[in-house]
C-alpha cells in the first residue's frame, strides 16, 4: 500500500492537491475535517460534538478522532493506499496511526509537508471563506486560533516521521499545477 500523510497548516492546499493525487495514484482520500463536516450536516452525535470544537478552531479530542479515523479506514476492502489529509494532528494521533496500520500489516510510506508561509495562508483562507461556506474560515480570530493550534500541537508531528526517515518537504507556493508537479515528482521518487 502507498500511504501518504499530506501535511501542512490550514490553507496549505492539502484538499486541492489530494484530488489530483487521487486521480494519478488511485488512492483513497481520507480527510478527517471532511468526515466531521459530513457528520455535522447529517446531525449525528459525532457531528454535534465535533462542531463544538471546530467552530472555535480547536482540535476535536484525540480519542474521538482516532476512533473515527479507524472506522473510516476499515470501510475499504483491499485499498491501494490512503492519503491522510488533516490527520494525524497530534503526536498521540501519529502513534495511534502507526499502531493501527501495523495491526493491518501496513504502515505510513511518507509524510509530505506542503510548505507555505503564514501571510499567504491567511490570504488563502480569507478567499476560501467566500465560497466554502465554512464557519471556521470566516472569522479571523478562528483562523488565527487554527494557525496557533497548528504551530503548538500539529507542527511537532513532523518530528515523528523525520525520526523514521519518512519526511519530505514540498514548496507549497506558486500555481496549483506547479505544486502538483512537485508532489508527483516527490512521490515518484519514493
Ligand atoms: P480541516 O478540514 O482539516 O481544516 O479541519 C477542520 C477542523 O476539523 C479542525 O480545525 C479541527 O477542529 C477538526 N479536525 C480535523 N481533523 C482533525 C484531527 N485530526 N484532530 C482533531 N481535530 C481535527
Closest CA to 56 of 138, 179, 132, 170: 138
Estimate the crossing angle of helix 45-54 against helix 32-41, to 10 degrees.
120
What is the per-residue pLDDT for 132? 83
For ligand 1, atom 6, name the residue with the nearest CA. Answer: 33
Q: Answer yes or no: is the C-beta of 47 below 6 A from any ligand 1 atom.
A: no
Closest CA to 187 of 165, 170, 162: 170
* pLDDT, tens only, 81-105: 999 999 999 999 999 999 999 999 9
For ligand 1, atom 1, name the residue with the nearest CA. Answer: 33
Q: Which long-range contacts (CB under 8 A, 24 or more apart) does 145-152 make?
A: 145/56, 145/57, 145/58, 146/10, 146/57, 147/9, 147/10, 147/118, 147/121, 147/122, 149/57, 149/58, 149/59, 150/9, 150/10
Place of cell 455535522: 40
> How confident is residue 80, by pLDDT bands cut at 50, 70 and 90?
very high
Choosing from 56, 70, 134, 158, the catalytic residue is 134
Ligand 1 centroid distance, CA of 16 (Å): 16
Can you read off the three cell numbers belonging to residue 124? 488563502
* pLDDT, tens only, 112-168: 999 999 899 989 998 888 888 888 988 889 999 999 999 999 999 999 999 999 999
Domain range list for the chain:
4-188
What is the per-residue pLDDT for 183? 98
Q: Is 20 a catalytic residue?
A: no
Report how far residue 189's alpha carbon sits from residue 62's, in angstroms, rounded to the nearest whole number.
Answer: 32
Write down the CATH superfamily of domain 4-188. Answer: P-loop containing nucleotide triphosphate hydrolases (3.40.50.300)
Show Cβ contacts of residue 97 under 8 Å, excluding neighbours closer than 6 positions.
66, 69, 84, 87, 88, 108
The kind and range of the H/E element at 55 are none
CA distances from 5 to 25, 52, 94, 119 (A): 14, 26, 10, 24
Place of cell 510510506: 109
Q: Is 151 a catalytic residue?
A: no
What is the per-residue pLDDT for 78? 94
Whether 85 contacts 15, CB under 8 Å: yes
Amino acid at each position: 500500500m502507498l500511504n501518504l500523510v499530506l501535511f501542512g497548516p490550514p490553507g496549505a492546499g492539502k484538499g486541492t492537491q489530494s484530488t489530483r493525487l487521487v486521480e494519478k495514484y488511485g488512492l483513497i482520500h481520507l480527510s478527517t475535517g471532511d468526515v466531521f463536516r459530513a457528520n455535522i450536516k447529517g446531525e449525528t452525535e459525532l457531528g454535534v460534538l465535533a462542531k463544538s470544537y471546530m467552530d472555535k478552531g480547536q482540535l476535536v479530542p484525540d480519542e474521538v478522532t482516532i476512533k473515527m479515523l479507524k472506522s473510516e479506514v476499515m470501510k475499504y476492502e483491499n485499498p491501494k493506499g490512503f492519503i491522510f489529509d488533516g490527520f494525524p494532528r497530534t503526536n498521540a494521533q501519529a502513534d495511534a496511526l502507526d499502531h493501527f496500520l501495523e495491526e493491518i500489516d501496513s504502515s505510513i510510506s511518507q509524510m509530505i509537508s506542503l510548505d507555505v508561509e503564514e501571510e499567504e495562508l491567511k490570504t488563502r483562507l480569507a478567499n476560501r471563506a467566500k465560497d466554502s461556506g465554512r464557519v471556521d474560515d470566516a472569522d479571523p480570530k478562528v483562523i488565527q486560533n487554527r494557525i496557533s493550534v497548528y504551530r503548538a500541537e500539529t507542527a511537532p508531528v513532523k518530528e515523528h516521521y523525520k525520526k523514521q526517515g519518512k519526511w519530505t518537504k514540498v514548496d507549497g507556493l506558486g500555481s496549483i499545477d506547479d505544486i502538483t508537479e512537485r508532489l508527483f515528482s516527490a512521490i515518484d521518487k519514493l
